[in-house]
Amino acid sequence: MPVADLDLDLDIFAGPFDLLIAVVLREEVSLLDLQLGEVVVAYVEHLEREGELELEVATEFLVLIAALLELKSRLMLPGPETELDELGPEEAVEELLARMLEYRRYRDAAAELAETFESQRGYLYRSAPLPAGLRRVAVDAAVAVYDPDQLGTALGDLLLEPADVDVSHIRPTVSLERRLRALRDALGRRTNFDFDDEFGNEDRLTQAVTVFALLELYRKGEVTWEQSECFGPIQVRKILPG
């Protein structure tokens, strides 16, 4: 089934996937209010019902979801005052079209490589038998190439356990869900706090994800913050109900 025909039943929209993209680009449905996770869940449930996966269709779906996710992140993150706060419909259409064209270029290149590989499969290795001259050589006439001690040392090295793999360069993943809980825990202890005092000892990746979680709480109307100067301290304040 083409990804455009995927039926959706969301809180703010019900209908096929291609219609959802159309109303989002016409700004009839706000991309900020659209929960892209619900769209992904609906597609996964469709795959489970069908019991099969078409790689090309799934790739097209991932390209569209990734493009929508990037557009949504641009709308959520604050930018310079000289730039537009929101992308217009024409710009959003151009973004999606560029992504689809890029995906099709890679898809066509992969198809070309696969066709070339298949056409040259008969030249990948030699299946002919050994020349007759080599088959007539006796074992007694063979000449030693390696010194026995050197060969024994080489084989002995194979029995040694390899050194532990250094994984220090691998950065740990940081869960947005956990950072949301950390912010809510901090706001549960007091109604306001200094961001550096609370999270200054964390690594840069964790701090970055925490800032993203702070933006999510701001979007939901749970917190606000103040920063009197550029790169200055950030004072986070809980928005009390009523």
Average pLDDT, the chain: 77
Q: What is the pLDDT of residues 16-33, one digit of tens each?
A: 777 777 777 777 777 777
Residue 181 to residue 179: CA distance in whole angstroms: 5
Which residues are within 8 A (CB) of 34 and not within 5 positions of it... i.e. 6 or more apart?
10, 12, 13, 20, 24, 68, 72
Q: Is residue 203 part of a domain?
A: yes
198 & 110 share domain: no
Q: What is the pLDDT of residues 171-219, one digit of tens each?
A: 677 888 888 999 999 988 888 999 998 898 888 888 888 988 989 998 8
110 & 192 share domain: no
Q: Is residue 119 part of a domain?
A: no
Q: What is the pLDDT of residue 79?
A: 55
Q: What is the pLDDT of residue 90?
A: 59
Q: What is the pLDDT of residue 80?
A: 53
Q: Is residue 206 part of a domain?
A: yes
Q: What is the pLDDT of residues 5-14, one digit of tens each?
A: 677 777 777 7
CB atoms under 10 Å from CB of 23, counted, come to 14
- Whether the pLDDT of residue 89 is over 60: the answer is no
The CATH number linked to 195 is: 1.10.10.580
Q: What is the pLDDT of residue 166?
A: 83
Q: Is residue 202 part of a domain?
A: yes
Q: Is residue 120 part of a domain?
A: no
Q: What is the pLDDT of residue 93?
A: 59
The SS3 assignment for 136 reads coil
- Whether the pLDDT of residue 82 is over 50: the answer is no
Q: Is residue 126 part of a domain?
A: no
13 & 102 share domain: yes
Final residue before a domain boundary, out of 98, 114, 130: 114
Weakest mean pLDDT among 76-90, 102-116, 141-155: 76-90
| 27 in Cβ contact with 89 (< 8 Å) | yes
108 & 199 share domain: no
153-to-142, 148, 158 alpha-carbon distances in Å? 22, 9, 9
193 & 98 share domain: no
The pLDDT-based confidence of 71 (bands split at 50, 70, 90) is confident
110 & 203 share domain: no
| CB-facing half-sphere around the CA of 99: CA atoms within 13 A | 19
DSSP-derived letter for residue 54 is -
Q: Is residue 16 part of a domain?
A: yes
99 & 186 share domain: no
Final residue before a domain boundary, out of 91, 114, 137: 114
Q: What is the pLDDT of residues 107-141, one digit of tens each?
A: 778 888 888 888 877 776 666 777 776 666 666 66
Q: Is residue 204 part of a domain?
A: yes
Number of folded domains in the chain? 2
Overall pTM > 0.75 = no
Final residue before a domain boundary, out of 64, 94, 114: 114
- Whether the pLDDT of residue 4 is over 70: the answer is no
85 & 181 share domain: no
The residue segments making up the domain with residue 198 are: 176-238
